[in-house]
Structure 1
Amino acid sequence: MRVLVAEDERDLADLVALGLRRHAMAVDVAYDGLAASERLAVNDYDVLVLDRDLPGRHGDVLCRDLVRSGARTRVLMLTAAASVPERVAGLSIGADDYLPKPFDYTELVARVQALGRRSQVPLPPVLERHGIVLDTHRLQVSRDGRFLRLSLKEYAVLEVLMRANGSVVSAETLLESAWDEHADPFTTVVRVIISRLRAKLGDPPCIRTVPGAGYLL
């Protein structure tokens, strides 16, 4: 899952991003509305965690523009204003969910995960393919009853491949889905993670390389 955190309180933004990354999400951070707008224009995000009172470009404007563009990105709006009228106003401009500050971090993660599922093709929380069982709630993977110890990046790549349901996934799509904006598209990081996954998944081999196209499960 790819997430953009748009929050001008830098410590809070970095803390939220760090926590989401611990749940196998690829997270970019913008500290003002203009930077958030630039990232939304060039990246395809599943969820936008949006502080309503952003400098540079107000969160309301960002939310309205995103909705008008027809993007699949879901919006979780954050604000210090917790009154019912404020929440109604935030939802009325197109936000999918609303969370007042201060918030419980576990609730924030759960809401981001729920919105991320809504931004994709609906699938059950537990995915099963070729004896592989991937639990998106617990971030756990097993194959033929054998628990697999995957890194967060390995887990994220495997989830993308399983969600594709047998379709080819390009290396570019894997980079876009499982890495943040700091990933170098000219490195071999995708091939390295695929190689590690193959080793951990064991026999029979289940990840196939399609020359010139990508990978499929």
Structure 2
Amino acid sequence: DWVLPGLSGIELCRRLRRWPATKTLPVIMLTARSDEMDKVCGLEMGADDYLTKPFSVNELLARAAGLLRRRDTRLIADKLKVGEIELNRDAMLVLRQGTAVHLGPTDYRLLEFFMLSPGRVFTRRQLLNGVWGGEVHIDERSVDVHIGRLRKALLQGWKSDPIRTVRGAGYSFETC
């Protein structure tokens, strides 16, 4: 909920996304705040779904089941694979068709964030919140710099670019 004792639901969501142990934990905001901007803010700050009161228990259960169905393997997976790119979380190793791709820590986290939701379009703000955390004060254009570095590393010797620029919206990670 937006209004929690001692801490806003938005701040709680930011903290959950920042902590490694909870950053992929599914979050559904349940709140009476039904304004479109409140919904957008809640989703951009890290909620996976947003449900306004009053709601039925059946709808809540169906939404929770849907989130868990999509996320349960990602919560425990030590390896992510999207197309020809594999990310080994335990070894912090990235491979493209079996060849090592060398990334810095921020670009690694950016790739991991993309690979957790392939095909989804993320705004710069969503990428900042998901990769750097909500309390970091970085210019949104810094995302473009990291996208450029990640692209350069992933394109070493390959023609297909797995990062798609969506004009006016942001970026997505596609199967190559």
TM-score calculated relative to the size of structure 2: 0.57
Provide the C-alpha distance between the structure 2 equivalents of 1:150 and 1:156, rounded to a whole number of angstroms. Answer: 9
Provide the C-alpha distance between the structure 2 equivalents of 1:126 and 1:43, rounded to a whole number of angstroms. Answer: 25
C-alpha contact 2:94 2:100 (8 A) present in aligned 1: yes
Give the match's secondary structure for 2:127. helix
Unmatched 5+ residue regions in structure 1? 1-33, 50-68, 74-117
1:215 aligns with 2:168: no
**Judging changes above 3 Å, is the alpha-carbon distance between structure 1 residues 145 and 48 closer, same or farther for their aligned structure 2 residues?**
closer
1:201 aligns with 2:154: yes
Q: Percent identity?
A: 27
TM-score calculated relative to the size of structure 1: 0.47
Runs of 4+ with deviation above 6 angstroms: 69-73
C-alpha contact 2:82 2:115 (8 A) present in aligned 1: yes
2:16 aligns with one of 35, 45, 51: 45
**Judging changes above 3 Å, is the alpha-carbon distance between structure 1 residues 41 and 138 closer, same or farther for their aligned structure 2 residues?**
same
Give the match's secondary structure for 2:126. helix
C-alpha contact 1:175 1:183 (8 A) present in aligned 2: no
CA RMSD, 1 decimal: 3.4
C-alpha contact 2:125 2:140 (8 A) present in aligned 1: no
Matched pairs, number: 121
2:137 aligns with one of 183, 207, 211: 183
Give the match's secondary structure for 1:208. strand
Which residue is 2:58 aligned to? none
2:71 aligns with one of 109, 121, 129: 121
* Within-5 A mapping of 1:64-83: none
Q: How far apart are 1:46 and its partner, in Å?
A: 3.2
